[in-house]
Amino acid sequence: MRAKATTQTVREDETPGDLPEGWALAPAGDVFTFVTSGSRGWAQYYAETGALFLRIANLNHDDIAIDLSQKKYVNPPRSAEGTRTRVKLRDLLISITADVGMVGLVKHDLGEAYINQHIALARLAEGLDDAYVSWYIASTGGQKQLGDLQRGATKVGLGLDDIRSINLPFAPLVEQRRIVAKIDELLEKVNVSRERLAKVPKILRAFRQAVLASACSGRLTEDWRTEEANTKDIAPIISSIQKRRESEANSPKEKERIRQIYTQSEEGDSGELPEGWGFVRLNKLCSSFEYGTSAKSQPSGKVPVLRMGNIQGGKINWTDLAYSSDRDEIRQYELTPQTVLFNRTNSPELVGKTAIYLGEHPAIFAGYLIKINRLPEIDARYLNFCLNTNYARDFCSRVKTDAVGQSNINAQKLGTFEVPFCTLGEQHEIARRVEALFKLADAIEMRVATATWRTEKLTQAILAKAFRGELVPTEAELARRERRTYEPASALLARIRTATNEDSNNGAPSKQEKRTAK
């Protein structure tokens, strides 16, 4: 049971707050025997190997481990400055500029290591648990105190006296150790959950690609074809499309151009597809391909201009929009629902992104996109799915033209993409099934996002409970239950202050300084 401390000795400048029984507050300056910041101007000592040079990049929020995934080395000067900033075992490192308040505890021997000027180094007196203090500074309570002390209009930071001034809530020593052990136990489980959740998006991406591969190879609707006894061959469909397009041609030249399209043969092996299916060039299934507007878009206006950044995962992303208010431009490039858009210019890995415009909002499209004017024999949803398969990505990699930092696929090349084509009825069924499976994947993705968000909050929730005395039984509770005495934190802190004052009065180095000097 938590209770407000009533018998602890607390200094006048301390605010006890609602502390558990047996706990006490102390300014960090009372328990840190040494506080310093790192050295400036050490760029001249950078080296390929040598002593570690710890920076803000080596510290974390919500984790007191030193991150050594990014290493920098120095050959330090042999001077008092170098000795002063050398890191020892059990040192607490705290970022004091830029991303203020990140914490690292030196739990293992790092060999020869130093800190730069953006980090403060603090050494804790004997008799206290260094991990306990580190976790408190990393907690919301510690971070709030450091945040309130930040100064600077354009470049915020902390001074060493700021670090000394923050109040630390201390439990009795044995309770500190129990709290740290429990934090470690719980955070290990949190980390396992975080790692497992981090794998799910990759699994879902693979699942969606597997669905698309199954859909566009005919495997997804194998049962449907059996039930419908649908093995209608596509050859008469393509022949009918050709005749209709030739009859609608506006000139002999256009008619000849259309005829030439249908004389081109496909390279794909239609024998790999189900009976009745076949590979068909996209230009045989579309009336034309149109480029979007090249006019400069505006940050506001009447109608959104969809750009390459708005094509995301086969869908239109309606954030980060640009606009147009030009009537002629809107009339010329206005999109109709069920239109497939193809990103013709982008980085090599992103060129060829495709999405379907469903008519959610009136919109036009920009010049880096191609509007695919499909014929009624091909379902827009099915076409969009085909163009988002790995098979389509491989096609884009083959036909793209590379320039400096950019790749391009023009309309003529896009027209050569070979669609695994089937009857319109089966296309509708494929689209229906894919959408149902994608809806399931989207629901899982949302649940994973929620779980991930909650997991990210767990560390601070655990720390909050820890420093309210709610994570493990307090020493006061256990002492009453076991009918024994215990040493409250106030007595522990008084003993540390006495030892520190004696060392200071004698002009001798403290026990901590003796230990770290070895």
Specify the number of domains making up the chain. Answer: 2
- Last residue of some domain: 395, 422, 449? 422
The structure tokens listed for 449 are: 């996002």
Helix-strand-coil split of the chain, %, nearest 5: 45, 20, 35
Burial (CB count <10 Å: 0-12, 13-18, 19+), residue 142: buried
pLDDT greater at residue 501 or residue 399: 399
Average pLDDT of 377-400? 97
Q: Are residues 287 and 398 in the same domain?
A: yes
Assess whether pLDDT exceeds 80 at residue 502.
no
Sorting pLDDT into bands at 50, 70 and 90, what band is 99?
A: confident
Average pLDDT of 113-137? 94
The distance of Cα 65 from the centroid of its chain, to the nearest Å, equals 20
Report the range of poorest mean pLDDT among 62-71, 195-204, 228-237, 334-343: 228-237
Tell me the pLDDT tens digit for each residue of 222-249.
999 988 766 678 999 999 999 999 999 9
Structural domain harbouring 243: 231-422
Average pLDDT of 159-180? 95
pLDDT at 512: 42
Task: Name the one residue in this structure whose structure tokens are 């109040």.
Answer: 167
Average pLDDT of 115-139? 94
Assess whether pLDDT exceeds 60 at residue 8.
no
331 to 325, 334, 390, 517: CA distances (angstroms): 11, 6, 35, 78
Tell me the pLDDT tens digit for each residue of 261-310.
999 999 999 999 999 999 999 999 999 999 999 999 999 999 999 999 99
pLDDT at 232: 78
Assess whether pLDDT exceeds 70 at residue 109.
yes
The 8-class DSSP code of residue 510 comes to P
Q: Are residues 373 and 492 in the same domain?
A: no
- Do residues 343 and 394 make contact, with C-beta atoms less than 8 angstroms apart? no
The letter for the amino acid at 478 is L
Q: Are residues 263 and 354 in the same domain?
A: yes
**2 in any annotated domain:** no
Q: Are residues 159 and 238 in the same domain?
A: no
Report the range of poorest mean pLDDT among 66-75, 268-277, 500-509: 500-509
What is the domain-level CATH number for residue 265?
Answer: 3.90.220.20
Distance CA 309, CA 304 (A): 13
pLDDT at 212: 97
Q: How many helices (H) and strands (E) in the chain?
A: 17, 24
Assess whether pLDDT exceeds 70 at residue 153.
no
- Last residue of some domain: 378, 398, 422? 422
Averaged confidence pLDDT in the chain: 90
**215 in any annotated domain:** no
Strands (E), 51-178: 51-54, 73-74, 92-95, 103-105, 113-115, 119-124, 167-170
Assess whether pLDDT exceeds 60 at residue 515.
no
pLDDT greater at residue 99 or residue 177: 177
- Do residues 469 and 1 make contact, with C-beta atoms less than 8 angstroms apart? no
pLDDT at 62: 75
pLDDT at 230: 61
**62 in any annotated domain:** yes
Distance CA 316, CA 341 (A): 9
Distance CA 320, CA 297 (A): 12
Task: Name the one residue in this structure whose structure tokens are 């929009």.
Answer: 321
Tell me the pLDDT tens digit for each residue of 347-383.
999 999 999 999 999 999 999 999 999 999 999 999 9
Q: Are residues 272 and 415 in the same domain?
A: yes
pLDDT at 41: 80
% of the chain beyond a pLDDT of 90: 81
Q: Are residues 251 and 340 in the same domain?
A: yes
Sorting pLDDT into bands at 50, 70 and 90, what band is 505?
A: low
Average pLDDT of 204-211? 97
Average pLDDT of 77-97? 85
Sorting pLDDT into bands at 50, 70 and 90, what band is 506?
A: low
**180 in any annotated domain:** no
- Do residues 338 and 358 make contact, with C-beta atoms less than 8 angstroms apart? yes
pLDDT at 517: 41
Note the pTM of the prediction, 2 decimals.
Answer: 0.79
Q: Are residues 397 and 496 in the same domain?
A: no
From the list 411, 417, 381, the residue with the least C-alpha distance to 397 is 417
